Structure 1
Amino acid sequence: MVHLMLQCEQMRLLTALRRFAHNAAQSPQTSERCLQVKIFIQVAVIGPPNSGKSLLTNQIVRAQVSAVSSKMDTTQRNVTAALTEHGCQLVVVDSPGTIGIQHARKVVKRNEPMLLTGPERALEGASHVLVVHDSTATGDYIHHRVLHLLHRYPHLTSSLVLNKIDLVQRRSDLLELVRILCNGKVGGEAIKVMKSQMGRLGKAGTSAQRHSTMGLHTDEEKERSAQWQQKYRALIQKPTHKCGWLETKSLFADIRGWSNFDAVFFVSSLTGEGIDALREHLYELSEDKAYRFDENMVTTKKPMAICEDAIRAQLLDNLPSDIAYALKIKVTEWQMEGDVLQIVAEVQCDKEKWGRYVLGKGNSKIMKIGKAVNVSMQNLFKQQLFVRILVKSRGKLIDNTK
């Protein structure tokens, strides 16, 4: 009976999410083609950990469907989100960061296949790929696991998204970064820029009005040894998660970019800068085909999973990594009391001292976490609700108020 009630409440909230999608703000700049016929596109979002993929996904679909925190590996399985407006359905699949099995076991403390297979599974159903790169990262290269994925799926069109530009002091420096990450080419043509346009960042492509060409030899133009070619062919046949971390790192050791990006976008997922242009580009790439989902659907993610991930994100933001990654979160109660949805979630700790750290002095820390989760859930579900978080260790409830 309890299980049936949980299912009924989740179905009711899924309906609320669909209504929320219908009432979401709509961009007045959406392509006119969308107004004439139903069109569809599914996009995969991939990139290294902590590059801002989840926040970018939320911005594109205008809903907080993916949990976001300042720590890496917040997303541990693919999240499918959708935005339908003006006859266009845009489906975005947010994927975990490209990591290896050792990182998953030692840092994230998870051995779940979805954490490792997610990025490739996102590509399997996509017609376009968004490769997200942190503009503030010290490395001027595309991550070797991302490169392996791109080389395995060269038939998919792709765009480079330079994220976190709000944190870049001299944006003109990003042009050199683009040159490197794109191997000097965008849309099959050499990148051309004018100095007078460097302060104005948007979609970077080719134009007859831009006159200063920056040359760079692409990896295709470089001669590779027979040994490298043999290794390449062997590794490209294997799914990325089945390749050793050092194998892909060695294979792409002197390859820094991808020559097949059709466009480059400079965005801030935090402020929303550049998102409209990116969304419009995705609509332009869409095809005349049937919708995959109901037009009022926002996400396929179950409401209880959304709640658990929201709690996990807040724990990551408020606790040391070694503790936060080791915690297990589970929603145990989910029922309506009048007009209020009452939710109870448990945080399981292996050690009692961890539980007391999670609670904080006088339970102050868990109260802060709970408040943030409540706000996040109410904003998404548009439903009056209350989330109560209990902290346990080996089945025993821990309380710091005494």
Structure 2
Amino acid sequence: MNLNVVRYFSQKLSHRALEVAVIGAPNVGKSLLTNQLVRAAVSSVSSKMDTTTQNVEAILTEDNVQLVVCDSPGTIGLRHAKETMGRSRDDVILTAPEAALQRAEHILVVQDATATGDYIHHRVMHLLHRHSHIPSSLVINKVDLVSRRSDLLELTRILTNGRVAGAPIKTSEKVIGRLGASSSGLRLHDDSVTVQDETWQEQFRQFRKIIAIPTHKVGFGETKRLFANVRGWSSFDAVFYVSSLTGEGIEPLRDHLKKLSTERQWRMDEMAITTKSPQHICIDSVRAALLDTTPSNVAYKLKPRITEWKVEGEVLQIVVEINCDKERIGRLLVGKGGRRIAEIGKRVNDHMHTLFARQLFQV
């Protein structure tokens, strides 16, 4: 028997993999979280909502485990897509969040710890109910911006309906990872949650037809009314507290996902970091820079286009054209003394250089 052959098949069989979908309301930090999980800036990031307009698969292969993480656009409604971005009912920005769940074996629901509303977005709730067979975890992001970490305990109770991993949260003293000192005497389970849940169950029976319809085909107002009195999801397997900006809490989340992986062959090459083409990454990077440096009503309407993509040795030269329908928009884009367009070029250059580890010139 050839021992090399035996060793080869043994190594192949020991490969593990997990498909993960990242969903959430707009601007909660899904893309930055995805980048942190896979240790690469695959998804473009800006301070504005709608930076991600279609699903992006990011890949991490390490410790004999392959995580394929699907970053999805924020859950917006048709009116916003039409009026702000000029999109139609079946545009990918509306269909992508649900499409991200088609391969998913685990869902990460990302919640902004600093958001004014202590509830899971109604569009996200609709997706969770439609795909309740897929295990999910709650990821409370931006904890670096929370001054009183003990407040996260109450937020967790609300967003989970007082239940995690099928059991009530009923602990008088709780320490949340690296989030600081314990909070004594804080009762995390509230019987009123059960009453609310029972009331909603009757409402759910009345609206079960809405749950059967793909999320993007249900009116924004319909899902808002359906989940008007619902703040949390009772079926989360785990809760994580992270800062996608600083990296706090990312490692425990990544390790958890690795433990959930199952033994099978990898779908992606072990050297791959994304299924997204370099050209697509470049255009999205330009869009993100435009969103951060120009007014939203201008940035959303600009359509960058690559007119030249040339590799010469270790140098990648890219020419991106941005057509402006009005001269004043062109002047705005260039900025005083060309400073704004130079800043956009530098941002894109830095992003692409980090990914491709080569010298890059923007023209």
Shared fold by TM > 0.5? yes
The Cα of 1:338 is off from its aligned counterpart by: 4.1
The Cα of 1:336 is off from its aligned counterpart by: 2.0
Task: Kindly indicate whether residue 155 of structure 2 is the aligned counterpart of residue 170 of structure 1.
Answer: no
Tell me which amino acid in the other structure corresponds to 2:290.
L
The Cα of 1:105 is off from its aligned counterpart by: 1.3
Task: Kindly indicate whether residue 235 of structure 2 is the aligned counterpart of residue 260 of structure 1.
Answer: yes
Instruction: List aligned pairs for 1:242-281, cutoff 5 A.
Output: 242-281=217-256
Task: Kindly indicate whether residue 357 of structure 2 is the aligned counterpart of residue 382 of structure 1.
Answer: yes
User: Given that residues 200 and 229 in structure 2 are in contact (C-alpha distance below 8 angstroms), is that contact kept between their aligned partners in structure 1?
Assistant: no
Cα separation, 2, equivalents of 1:130 and 1:198: 18
Aligned to 1:294: 269
Aligned to 1:126: 104
Identify the range of structure 1 (89-98 vs 325-334) with the bigger mean alpha-carbon deviation: 325-334
User: Given that residues 12 and 265 in structure 2 are in contact (C-alpha distance below 8 angstroms), is that contact kept between their aligned partners in structure 1?
Assistant: no
Q: Counterpart of 2:222 in 1: which secondary structure?
A: helix
Q: Counterpart of 2:263 in 1: which secondary structure?
A: coil
TM-score, scaled relative to structure 1? 0.82
Q: Deviations over 1:85-124 (max 9, x none)?
A: 1110000000000001111111233336110011100011
The Cα of 1:223 is off from its aligned counterpart by: 3.1
Tell me which amino acid in the other structure corresponds to 2:207.
Y
Q: Counterpart of 1:44 in 2: which secondary structure?
A: strand
Instruction: List aligned pairs for 1:187-336, cutoff 5 A.
Output: 187-195=165-173, 197=175, 200-201=178-179, 212-216=187-191, 217-218=193-194, 221-224=197-200, 228-336=203-311
Cα separation, 2, equivalents of 1:235 and 1:285: 32
Cα separation, 1, equivalents of 2:144 and 2:258: 25
After superposition, the Cα gap between the structure-2 partners of 1:144 and 1:360, relative to the gap in structure 1 and judged at 3 Å, is same
Q: Deviations over 1:360-382 (max 9, x none)?
A: 01211101110111111101111
Aligned to 1:64: 41
Structure 1 spans left out of the alignment, 5+ residues: 1-33, 203-209, 389-402
Cα separation, 2, equivalents of 1:353 and 1:169: 43
Which of the numbers 16, 22, 27 marks the counterpart of 1:39? Answer: 16
Identify the range of structure 1 (187-196 vs 151-160) with the bigger mean alpha-carbon deviation: 187-196
Cα separation, 1, equivalents of 2:130 and 2:137: 16
The Cα of 1:219 is off from its aligned counterpart by: 7.2
After superposition, the Cα gap between the structure-2 partners of 1:161 and 1:229, relative to the gap in structure 1 and judged at 3 Å, is closer
After superposition, the Cα gap between the structure-2 partners of 1:377 and 1:213, relative to the gap in structure 1 and judged at 3 Å, is closer
Instruction: List aligned pairs for 1:125-164, cutoff 5 A.
Output: 125-164=103-142
Cα separation, 2, equivalents of 1:248 and 1:108: 21
The Cα of 1:301 is off from its aligned counterpart by: 0.2
Cα separation, 2, equivalents of 1:103 and 1:219: 34
After superposition, the Cα gap between the structure-2 partners of 1:35 and 1:165, relative to the gap in structure 1 and judged at 3 Å, is farther
Q: Counterpart of 2:100 in 1: which secondary structure?
A: helix
Q: Counterpart of 1:223 in 2: which secondary structure?
A: helix
Identify the range of structure 1 (188-197 vs 91-100) with the bigger mean alpha-carbon deviation: 188-197
The Cα of 1:229 is off from its aligned counterpart by: 4.0
Task: Kindly indicate whether residue 83 of structure 2 is the aligned counterpart of residue 96 of structure 1.
Answer: no
Q: Counterpart of 1:57 in 2: which secondary structure?
A: helix
Q: Counterpart of 1:43 in 2: which secondary structure?
A: strand
The Cα of 1:222 is off from its aligned counterpart by: 1.3
After superposition, the Cα gap between the structure-2 partners of 1:352 and 1:213, relative to the gap in structure 1 and judged at 3 Å, is closer
Residue identity over aligned pairs, in percent, reads 57
Aligned to 1:183: 161
The Cα of 1:35 is off from its aligned counterpart by: 12
Cα separation, 2, equivalents of 1:270 and 1:197: 22
The Cα of 1:78 is off from its aligned counterpart by: 0.2
RMSD: 2.3
The Cα of 1:187 is off from its aligned counterpart by: 0.5
Cα separation, 1, equivalents of 2:70 and 2:177: 32
Q: Counterpart of 1:254 in 2: which secondary structure?
A: coil
Q: Deviations over 1:170-196 (max 9, x none)?
A: 111011000000000000111134446
Q: Deviations over 1:190-232 (max 9, x none)?
A: 1134446368439xxxxxxx99552242478413586x34542
Cα separation, 1, equivalents of 2:147 and 2:194: 29
After superposition, the Cα gap between the structure-2 partners of 1:222 and 1:125, relative to the gap in structure 1 and judged at 3 Å, is same
After superposition, the Cα gap between the structure-2 partners of 1:199 and 1:296, relative to the gap in structure 1 and judged at 3 Å, is closer
The Cα of 1:36 is off from its aligned counterpart by: 8.9
Task: Kindly indicate whether residue 60 of structure 2 is the aligned counterpart of residue 83 of structure 1.
Answer: yes
Cα separation, 2, equivalents of 1:219 and 1:348: 56
Q: Counterpart of 2:332 in 1: which secondary structure?
A: helix
User: Given that residues 141 and 256 in structure 1 are in contact (C-alpha distance below 8 angstroms), is that contact kept between their aligned partners in structure 2?
Assistant: yes
Q: Deviations over 1:238-267 (max 9, x none)?
A: 000000000000000001100000000000
Cα separation, 2, equivalents of 1:238 and 1:177: 30
Cα separation, 2, equivalents of 1:147 and 1:47: 10
User: Given that residues 327 and 350 in structure 1 are in contact (C-alpha distance below 8 angstroms), is that contact kept between their aligned partners in structure 2?
Assistant: no
Aligned to 1:109: 86
TM-score, scaled relative to structure 2? 0.91
Cα separation, 1, equivalents of 2:97 and 2:20: 12
